[in-house]
Structures are given as C-alpha cells and as structure tokens.
Chain A
Amino acid sequence: MTQEITFWVLAVIAVLGALVAVRRRNLIHGVFALMIFFAALAGLFLLLLAEFIAAVQILVYIGAVGILLLFAIMLTERVTGDDARDITSRGSFWGWVAALAVLVFLLLPAIQSADLPQTTEPYNPSVKALGQQMMNPYVVTLEVLALLLTAALIGAVAASQGGEKKKEDADDA
C-alpha cells in the first residue's frame, strides 16, 4: 500500500517535471524541472531496491548532466534568464506525431513482449554482487568504456590546448 502510494506520487512528480522541463520558456527553470524529473526517477529506482542505480542516477544525471547544462547556460548571454524571445511552436504537430509513433511502435511492443520476473520474494541485489559482475564477466566492456572516456577527455584537453596555441600565435602577430 505504502509502496503503491509512493510509486504514484513519484510517477506524477516525474511526469510533471518532464512536462515543465519541456514547456518552460525560462531555461534555468527548465533545467531545474529536468532535475526534479531525474530525482523522481532515482526515487523510483530506490523503490525497486536498486539503490546503486539510484545513487548513480543522482550522481550522474543531477550532479553531472544537470550541472553541465547549467554551465552551458552560464556561458550564454541568457544567463540572467530574462528572455523575451518566444520559442516558436511551428512544427509541433509533427513533434506530437513522432512522439506518438515512438510510443505505439517502439515502447508498447517492447513492454508487451518483455519477460518480467514473476517472483514474489524480494530481489535484493547487493552492491558487492554488482561490483563483482562488473569486474569479472563485464570487465572488458568496462575497460573499453573507460578507454573511450579517457580518449574523450584527452580530446577535450587537446581541443582547448589548440585554442591556446592559436592565441599565442595571435599574440606574436
């Protein structure tokens, strides 16, 4: 009973947050609404006893993605938020069509064909088990991902360094 109430509360918050994030003109309000959506999602994960995923959801989506969005907004001149420009709603019809198509042709079949576990006993994955899974069967995947991220990091550094070099050239000239 408690669980069901919690689920519905979190679900409503998530949907409302997502709606506000999309509809809000003010960029910063939008970002914060998106974070509320992420937080509600983390709550749903907790409800499923997936605490590690919940923690990562908060850490990565709110802590990293959200802050990244804020950083991006800070670099624009709209940082103060007073933006009178309208977001054009042209083409929103096709947007609705695309969203509906995704729902009907992708999500619904996926949910229907999914093989959900039907056990009654609580399933409690420990973080330790998760870690062992990651380090044993999936270690190659993990390493490849780490390598990819490192490459991205080095690429970012190189890109910014390139800018520095150009600056020095300009100084010389």
Chain B
Amino acid sequence: MSLELIKDILLATVPLLVIFPSLFAFTTWMERKALARIQNRIGPNKIGIPCTRIGLFGLGQPAADGIKMIFKEDIVPRGADKLFHLLAPILALIPAMLILCFLPLEFPWGKFMSGQVQAFLLDSAVIFFFAISGLATLAIFMAGWASRNKYSLLGGMRAVAQMVSYEIPLVLSAVVVVMMAGSLNAKEIADVQTGFNWFVLTPWGLAAFIVFFVAALAETNRSPFDLPEAESEIIAGYFTEYSGFKFALFFLGEYIAMFAISGLAVTLFLGAGDGPFLAVAPWLSVVWFIAKIFGLIAVMIWLRGTLPRLRVDQLMAFAWKFLLPLSIFNILLAGMSHHVTVAYPGTTAQVVTWTVSLVGMYVMAKGLDKISRSTAKPREYLYAE
C-alpha cells in the first residue's frame, strides 16, 4: 500500500469523522434550543466557558453532556446478552458513518489528492446507500433483543416493522431521480443538477421529495414516527437499558443517520452543493451542502416540537396505503413526462407535461387520502342550560 493511497484515504475520511460528529454536538444544542423556544422556555443557557460566568447561550452544553455520558456507569442488565448488548450501539453507528462516505461533498482539499475526492465514488452509490442504511434496523433489533427487557423488545419489533415498511417508499422516490439523471452515481446525479436544475423544482421531483422526506423521518425514528422510542408508551424503546457511553453512541448514531439521510435528500433533490457564487468560490459548495442539510434538520426539529405521535397501525397504513401507491404513480408520471419531452422538445410539451403531472399527482394524493384517511373529524357538542 503506497503512501499516496494512505494520504488519500486519510484526506477523504478524516474530515467526515471530524466534521459530522462536531455538527452532531452543535445539532443537539440547536435542537434543545429550538424546542425550548417552541415551548416557551429558554433552553440550555448556563454552560459556556468553564470557571467563568460567560454563558455563550449554553453552547458548552453538548461538551458537558458528552463528559457526563462518558463518566456515567455503564449498566448491563443481568439477563442481557452481553456481547450483543455491547455490539448494538457500535453497529448502530457504523452504517450511519459509512453512508456519509457516499455523499458527494467536494472538500477544498480535494485538489491535494491524487485520485477521487469522495471516500467512496461508486457507480451504484445510491443502491449502496440504501443497502447500508438498512443495516441500522439490525442494530436496533439487536439492542432491543439483547437488553432482555420487554419495552426494549417491543421497541425493537416496532423499529423493524417501521423501518422495513418505510424503506420502500424511500427507495421508490429515489428511483425517480435515478431515472431522470440516468445514473446511480451520486456525483453524476449532483452534476446533472448544477445551475439550479434541482430535481425538486420539477413536479415529479417535488412529489418524490415530499415522499422521501416523510419516509426519511420514519427511517430515522423522528417525530411523528418516533414509535420505536415512544417515551409515553414504552419508556425509551430499544435503548431503555442503555446508559453512559453506549447510550451516547446510540444518540450519535441517530443524529449521524439524520445527517446522512438529509444528505441523500440534498444530493437527490436539492442540487447537492449547487448554489450561488460557486464560480467565485468553489469551496462554497461544501457550505451550501451542509447548509441544506441543516435546513432539512431544522424542519425535523420543528416537526418534533409540534406534532403528536401516530399509532402503530396508522403508521403502517400510511406507508402502505398512501406513500407506496403515490410513489409508484409518481414513477409512472416521471417516466411519461420524460418520454414526452424527449419526443417533442419545446416549451409547449414541457408545460403540458408539467400541468398533467401536477394535476395527476394532486388527484392521486386526494383520492388516496380519501381512501386511506381515518374518518376522524371535529364534532359538535350539546349544551344544557
């Protein structure tokens, strides 16, 4: 193994290992602060520079939390499967970190590298992305099963059922982009969208993006799909029996998975690193990329602060009866539009296909909503004088 190769590997992976965990720390602070504001609270505000009274808006909170986590006692239940109990948090983190390597981030130090800029520049990056992110399900099941706790087991079962179900609309909405870009390569998909040709700005892209984002919420167990860790029902779900550093690893894995799936959404729909002023400063592409990721994460935090949780049967019905048919129909629309625009180039065909697609999606969504939605509606009440 040559020195050159080792340098390349380090340049490609170390930034990911540094940037994203630090962003994780910042995100936990951001989430707590944002939730606090939503709830009329102030949120963390005490911990800033140690030994002083400077609060820095509580920016020291993640560091303090981290220190606390590391020094806490690591409790393993007596009945637990010790090996799996240990492996589960690690296995939860590894796929999340791995899929970060598929994101087409163009770091400015790429020009010092001999070969490719990305850690994994694979032709089938999108497939790999879904293949590896599916492994997180196993980690969660492992944790739930190994803890030998009934709440954990329930959480693990819920997680498996939920993540398997929502993976399908997730993949199907990515298929649209793969079809339109004609490639599974993340870099090529990003290149197709340069100059504000973002896929989200097309009707089918918009629909696919919405489906993708909803499914991504479920994949990462975020509210309103946070059933595997539903506090009011099953305590903390699969990580009920975890404490200390193992818990921190789960936490880290969950947030890294959020970054990864938001990163994929940005790559597929939001033009990856595309943005203004790139001609002047090409290094801005990383900034745009991460800013877009944070935009999506801000929406996730917002939803967490506002929405109650779905029930397990409603969750499944939503995936199978609404998202799945909608995404299949969307693929159909996207394919038809593509062929029509290829056959009849010009604005008229474009306008016609866009209108047809938008109307078709709207009608389909309304129809599915009507079929699968519960009959719940506000009621009238009587009054006795």
Q: Which residues of A contact B (CB under 8 A)?
A: 2, 28-29, 32, 35, 51-52, 55-56, 58-59, 62-63, 66-67, 70-71, 74, 79-81, 126-128
SS class, residues of chain B in contact with chain A: helix
Cross-chain contact B135 with A127 (CB below 8 angstroms): no
Number of interface residues of B (CB under 8 A): 27
CA of A55 to CA of B183, assembled, Å = 15
**Contact across chains for A70 and B184 when beta carbons are under 8 A apart:** no
Residue of A nearest to B129 (CB): A55
Q: Spell out B's residues near A (CB within 8 Å).
A: 1, 81, 84, 122-124, 127-128, 130-132, 134-135, 137-138, 141-142, 145, 148, 153, 157, 160, 164, 167, 183-185
Our pick among A62, A71, A81, A126 for the contact of B81 (Cβ within 8 Å) is: A81
In the assembled complex, the Cα of A128 lies from the Cα of B124 at a distance in Å of 9
Query: Is chain A's binding surface mostly helix, strand, loop or mixed?
Result: helix
- Distance, CA A56 to CA B160, complexed state (A): 20
Bound: A7/B342 CA distance, A: 46
| In contact, B184 and A127 (Cβ under 8 angstroms) | yes
Contacts of B124 in A (CB 8 A): 51-52, 55, 127
Indicate if the CB atoms of B138 and A128 lie closer than 8 Å: no
Contact, CB under 8 Å: B145 / A67:
no
A-B contact pairs, 7 of them (CB 8 A): A51-B122, A58-B131, A59-B131, A67-B137, A71-B160, A79-B153, A127-B185
19 A-B pairs besides A62-B131, A66-B138 with CB distance below 8 A are A28-B145, A32-B138, A35-B138, A55-B127, A55-B128, A55-B131, A58-B132, A58-B134, A59-B127, A62-B134, A63-B134, A63-B135, A63-B137, A67-B134, A67-B164, A70-B160, A80-B148, A127-B123, A127-B185
Interfacial chain A residues near B185, Cβ < 8 Å: 127
Q: Are B142 and A32 in contact, with the CB atoms below 8 A?
A: yes
Closest CB in chain A relative to B74 CB, distance in Å: 22
**What 4 pairs between A and B have smallest CB-CB spacing?**
A58-B131, A63-B134, A59-B131, A55-B127
